[in-house]
């Protein structure tokens, strides 16, 4: 487990440990987690792609070494601390005590932070994402992720992070449309991959993401919290060790779960579009920082880089702006891409 001092912003926020929470903790300890979850080793890229295609997600351990884990955990704690300064009531922006790293940033991304830039330079990640898309020509959409605090005791409704096209007042972030009305985004090969990096162990108690296997192509309506069966509530991606990645087809049904531990659980990410798929992308890295990246990383972030004459205003906010400079869009307030079809 990570040193708890690094997760200190949560310490003041945990609600009273009443008997309901104690009962929930005991229940989750005994029942939470996908039975037989395979946690792969880095040499298993081929099998990783097979599991990804079958289940809509896959976990690979040992992708970050201990120093990478430490750097990332510290970066997440720093960013979370800045965000929490703005939200003493812990209302969150992804549900109570839940926050999006991108949705809490003036650039809608954390790509300006060296800890997230570090993630671009991991060859295994590039290899696995390239194998999923069947091409090395994919692009970064954003560097974001989520964190939840102790006190996030409610389940977040199941949702998907991408949707079919909708007009600008509904969302600025959608594109796929079949004018014949025959295909939906769920009928396509995977258009959008999210790679979450684990800067701490993910356990049955600290808010593991729940993933419903094999739902990435499903056209069935996603169940509400009231409709959701218990097996889905317990279908969480844990235990998974610090340093692992969780690679997700963002169409697959997923959602947050209770954090009844005493520390923050963060899942910073990189989000990628297939070579043939685009939605509006917001610049997240200055040209000067872009020039410091490896050639491979530069190729991936080519759609996220600000013009050399532009400066980027960075910093925390509870409501990330919705202007999409690269797409020339100025749109009215609505939900973020990562919540486009979410709760």
52-65 in b/e burial notation, b at 16+ Cβ within 10 A? beebbbbbbbbbbe
Is 342 a residue that touches ligand AKG (CB under 6 A)? yes
Is 254 a residue that touches ligand AKG (CB under 6 A)? yes
Is 112 a residue that touches ligand AKG (CB under 6 A)? no
How far is residue 62's CA from residue 129's CA, in Å, rounded to a whole number? 16
Is 55 a residue that touches ligand AKG (CB under 6 A)? no
In the list 56, 75, 243, 255, the residue contacting ligand AKG (rule: CB under 6 A) is 255
| Ranges within 151-190 binding ligand AKG (CB under 6 A) | 156
Q: What are the CA-CA distances from residue 242 to residues 22, 39, 120, 139 (Å)?
A: 25, 12, 18, 26
Instruction: Rank residues 170 and 339 by Cβ distance to ligand AKG and give the closer one.
Output: 339
- Smallest distance, ligand AKG to C-beta of residue 47, A: 24
Is 338 a residue that touches ligand AKG (CB under 6 A)? yes
Instruction: Rank residues 102 and 130 by Cβ distance to ligand AKG and give the closer one.
Output: 102
Is 141 a residue that touches ligand AKG (CB under 6 A)? no
- With contacts defined by CB under 6 A, name the span among 23-31, 84-92, 251-259, 277-285 that binds ligand AKG: 251-259
Instruction: Rank residues 75 and 342 by Cβ distance to ligand AKG and give the closer one.
Output: 342
- Smallest distance, ligand AKG to C-beta of residue 230, A: 18
Q: Do residues 115 and 197 lie in contact, with contact meaning Cβ atoms separated by under 8 Å?
A: no
- Smallest distance, ligand AKG to C-beta of residue 155, A: 10
Is 228 a residue that touches ligand AKG (CB under 6 A)? no
Instruction: Rank residues 60 and 238 by Cβ distance to ligand AKG and give the closer one.
Output: 238
| Ranges within 208-227 binding ligand AKG (CB under 6 A) | 209
- Smallest distance, ligand AKG to C-beta of residue 343, A: 8
CA dihedral of 185, 139, 256, 204, whole degrees rounded to 10: 120
Relative to beta strand 139-148, strand 265-273 is antiparallel
- Smallest distance, ligand AKG to C-beta of residue 296, A: 28
How far is residue 14's CA from residue 26's CA, in Å, rounded to a whole number? 17
- With contacts defined by CB under 6 A, name the span among 30-38, 220-228, 278-286, 334-342 that binds ligand AKG: 334-342
| Ranges within 89-108 binding ligand AKG (CB under 6 A) | 94, 100
- Smallest distance, ligand AKG to C-beta of residue 237, A: 8
């Amino acid at each position: 487990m990570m040193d708890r001092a690094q997760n200190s912003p949560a310490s003041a926020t945990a609600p009273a440990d009443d008997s309901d929470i104690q009962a929930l903790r005991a229940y989750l300890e005994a029942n939470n987690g996908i039975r037989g979850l395979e946690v792969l080793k880095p040499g298993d890229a081929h099998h990783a792609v097979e599991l990804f295609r079958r289940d809509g997600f896959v976990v690979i351990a040992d992708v970050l070494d201990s120093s990478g884990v430490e750097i990332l955990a510290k970066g997440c704690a720093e960013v979370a601390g800045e965000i929490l300064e703005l939200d003493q009531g812990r209302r969150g922006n992804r549900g109570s005590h839940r926050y999006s790293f991108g949705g809490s940033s003036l650039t809608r991304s954390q790509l300006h932070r060296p800890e997230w830039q570090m993630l671009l330079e991991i060859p295994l990640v590039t290899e696995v994402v390239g194998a999923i898309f069947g091409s090395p020509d994919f692009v970064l959409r954003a560097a974001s992720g989520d964190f939840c605090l102790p006190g996030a005791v409610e389940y977040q409704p199941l949702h998907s992070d991408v949707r079919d096209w909708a007009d600008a007042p509904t969302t600025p972030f959608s594109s796929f449309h079949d004018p014949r009305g025959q295909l939906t985004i769920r009928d396509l090969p995977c258009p959008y991959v999210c790679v979450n990096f684990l800067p701490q162990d993910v356990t049955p108690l600290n808010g593991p993401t729940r993933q419903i296997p094999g739902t990435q192509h499903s056209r069935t309506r996603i169940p509400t919290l009231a409709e959701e069966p218990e097996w889905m509530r317990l279908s969480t991606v844990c235990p998974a060790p610090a340093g692992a990645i969780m690679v997700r087809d963002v169409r697959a049904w997923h959602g947050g779960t209770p954090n009844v531990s005493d520390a923050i659980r963060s899942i910073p990410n990189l989000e990628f579009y297939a070579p043939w798929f685009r939605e509006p992308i917001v610049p997240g890295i200055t040209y000067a920082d872009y020039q410091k990246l490896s050639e491979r990383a530069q190729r991936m972030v080519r759609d996220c880089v600000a013009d050399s004459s532009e400066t980027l205003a960075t910093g925390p906010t509870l409501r990330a702006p919705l202007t999409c400079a690269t797409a020339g869009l100025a749109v009215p307030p609505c939900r973020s891409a990562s919540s486009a079809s979410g709760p």
